[in-house]
Amino acid sequence: MVLLGQNTKNMMNFMTLITFLLFIMPSISYSQNLGNNILLTNRKIFPKQETISSYAVVFDAGSTGSRVHVYHFDQNLNLLHVGKDVEFYNKTTPGLSAYADNPEQAAKSLIPLLEQAESVVPEDQRSKTPVRLGATAGLRLLNGDASEKILQSVRDLLSNRSTFNVQPDAVSIIDGTQEGSYLWVTVNYALGTLGKKFTKTVGVMDLGGGSVQMAYAVSRNTAKNAPKVADGDDPYIKKLVLKGKKYDLYVHSYLHFGTEASRAEILKVTHNSPNPCILAGFDGTYRYAGEEFKANALASGASFKKCKKIVHQALKLNYPCPYQNCTFGGIWNGGGGSGQRKLFAASFFFYLAAEVGMVDPNKPNFKIRPVDFESEAKKACALNFEDAKSSYPFLAKKNIASYVCMDLIYQYVLLVDGFGLDPLQEITAGKQIEYQDSLVEAAWPLGNAVEAISSLPKFEKLMYFI
């Protein structure tokens, strides 16, 4: 009986203790500081963290057509999905420069692209979404005030019909050095090399319709000793900050040496006489930037060797070089270096190789060497015009098969004799770059969008020019 009484007493004391603990537990609270969030565990209070993101819309008004790009960035300026991809993209032809005599119609040609862009940006985000239009070489080459009239019509269109955030400087002609700089940002952004040492970055070449750009990062010492340029000319070095790291970027744009413009320069050399770059059996006229050029073949047809000499003249390879090293036309080459070791070639470097069947046109990018253009040129120059249309159906469809010999030789000479690349150097040519589980266009608008977004008050300044 005594043992039983003692056990009962112990059990009652134990139960009393448990009851007391259960009673006081709800009043015990503790907190954990997680960044800016205070987590109150006893009351299950989880303050909602605001998700910061922003869209950006960029129009690329090029010489061959107009394109629209829509991007969606998170608070760290990483790309988010826009639908199933990380970029909305569409294009229309012809470009704004085709409406030199009708600026209002030039602006109206953008309406379908504008409406598509608005359809993918949520309505409550549109008024906060920066929109930009950058016109490139096509408008740079127009005579008189034609380009400014077109730009003003575009400004009026965006102000009156757009629901986006239109800043005063939203519509402009971007110069070639800006175009090259933005493409460099695009490529290195997509490849994940921004913020790393300049020796780890990738140089870019962009062969457009009216101009060609070269841009790559150089050492601080090289930038410091860069040649001075004449008043009014673009400096050779652009200084910018990306992810907190300063870069010195050699960049130069060669106006008149894009694919379409270069044909005019090559035909000018022969002064309306038969040109050895034109295929046998073709007798026509080439039109570019409001001018016409006689394009007819020699009686013997195209000649690889003779055409190459003509291209050398058109590129002004013998022009006096006032510096230690030049590309062509007396332009400083940037000194070379680690930032040029890896190269990404965009636009017509990709399109021509794909359209003549040198590579699979369905791939977003591929490896290629300058010598590959030379090999294909030798085969193309041996054809007559009719055979070329059969051999190159993509070019025939665009009515440019007659220039296949010329275009292939031009790209080889530009890369090897102009930019000084080894004929066997492997470069990446592409229209798109893999980014996460998707693809982004290998074009300057993404770099422009990064700058536009990083200048918004709620975003950290990822990119800015010094």
Which residues of the chain register pLDDT less than 70?
Answer: 1-51
Residues belonging to the binding site are 209-213
Overall number of domains in the chain: 1
Check residue 10 and give its pLDDT.
Answer: 53
Check residue 139 and give its pLDDT.
Answer: 87
Range of the structural domain that residue 160 is part of: 52-174+444-466
Question: Is residue 362 in a domain?
Answer: no
Question: Is residue 125 in a domain?
Answer: yes
28 token code pair = 């015990």
Question: Is residue 272 in a domain?
Answer: no
Residues belonging to the binding site for ATP are 209-213
The catalytic position among 50, 104, 118, 179 is 179
Question: Is residue 57 in a domain?
Answer: yes
Question: Is residue 363 in a domain?
Answer: no
Question: Is residue 155 in a domain?
Answer: yes
Question: Is residue 94 in a domain?
Answer: yes
pLDDT digits (tens, 9 = 90+) for 198-220: 999 999 999 988 889 999 999 99
Check residue 103 and give its pLDDT.
Answer: 96
Check residue 243 and give its pLDDT.
Answer: 83
Question: Is residue 359 in a domain?
Answer: no
CATH code of the domain in which 121 resides: 3.30.420.40
Active site residue 179: yes
Check residue 270 and give its pLDDT.
Answer: 97
